[in-house]
Amino acid sequence: MTIALTGDRPTGPLHLGHYVGSLQNRLKMQDTYDQHIMIADIQALTDNFENPKKVTENVFELMKDYLSIGLDPRKNTFFIQSQISELGELTIYYLNLVTVARLERNPTVKTEIQQKGYDDSIPAGFLCYPVSQAADITIVQAEVVPVGEDQLPMIEQTNEIVRRFNRIYNGEYLKECKPVLSQTTRLVGIDGKTKAGKSLGNAIFLSDSPEEIKRKVFSMFTDPGHLKISDPGKIEGNVVFAYLDAFHANKEEISDLKAHYQKGGLGDTAIKTLLNTTLQELLEPIRSARSAIQLNDIKDVLKIGTNKTRQTALKTMEQVRQAIGLQYWQ
């Protein structure tokens, strides 16, 4: 069974929201699935087209993160989206199976349009990226896709396209896929306002220095009404406790701290200090592994994986063209 990385497709360095989310499933599944992991540089260009250097540099930074957390190139196939030309062809065919109104109703797209402030000036490439994602999944005939909850509309739209294609051309040419959700809900940003994200500037990255991690932790939103240590504090909406829940191993200790905080007598500095220690211990080995990765090694892994994926893509496209009837020389 093939598994593809899509849905929440990071286009830049990974942050803790990625790490605690679907990446944990990918780490577990690399031992039992034929896992394809795509670097979505074309998707990144939909809102960075005037700054392509940023996108190309992020390809290698993202690969460093993937390798440093333990995704093994001997067990996974890493490939670059833009280097599989068949993806563009398949996306064009799929665009005929989707209406603009359906794309505009996609909840994930609507949310991201709001976040980016596009209003009436939405780039066509951005609006259509769920169709591109459908191509990314089906080009390798993926049956299982690890995603966050907010990406479920993308899987639904992919399966709609697959069903319509198979129905129109009267065959089982493409496979539907199932989402595999992470056990942890999406991680809130350090500002407490929305989920953590690079473009929102409210995330802690796996590559952040110890000093940067500490700065971000101590800037975290807690309880604005908790002015004195003796004041009772609120747990709901408290970002520090949200991160402790996600990353601190001793859950019983966190439960006791919550009770103490709610009763009064526990200051924000104490819980932020604990969180800083927790994150430093988590990220230090990742950061160390990351610093040892060589650029040439990354290029070799991507070249091998992209060439392998291209062979799979060619087989899928043979089936697709045969279904449509686009075989003129046979």
pLDDT at 47: 74
Q: Which two tokens stand for residue 79?
A: 């490939």
Q: How far is the C-alpha of 125 from the C-alpha of 231, rounded, in Å?
A: 51
Q: Which two tokens stand for residue 92?
A: 């064009």
pLDDT at 9: 57
Residue whose structure tokens are 């907010």 = 150
Q: Which two tokens stand for residue 286?
A: 């990742």
Virtual torsion, Cα 49, 147, 69, 71, nearest 10 deg: -90
For the chain, domain boundaries? 2-186+295-324, 210-290
Task: Mention every residue, 6+ apart, whose C-beta is less than 8 A from residue 59.
Answer: 39, 41, 80, 302
Q: Dihedral sign, CA of 231, 235, 240, 245?
A: positive
Q: How far is the C-alpha of 5 from the C-alpha of 18, rounded, in Å?
A: 12
Question: Is-contact 67 289, C-beta < 8 A?
Answer: yes
pLDDT at 249: 93
Task: Using pLDDT thresholds of 50, 70 and 90, give the confidence band for residue 185.
Answer: low
Per-residue pLDDT of 81-126, as tens digits, reads: 999 999 999 999 999 999 999 988 888 888 877 777 777 778 888 8
Length of the chain in terms of residues written = 330
pLDDT at 7: 43
Residue whose structure tokens are 């540089």 = 41
Instruction: Please state the pTM of the whole predicted model.
Output: 0.87
Q: How far is the C-alpha of 106 from the C-alpha of 303, rounded, in Å?
A: 34
Q: Which CATH class is domain 210-290?
A: mainly alpha
> Which neighbouring-strand residues pair with 2?
34
- 2-186+295-324 belongs to CATH 3.40.50.620: yes
Please give the mean pLDDT across all residues of the chain.
Answer: 90
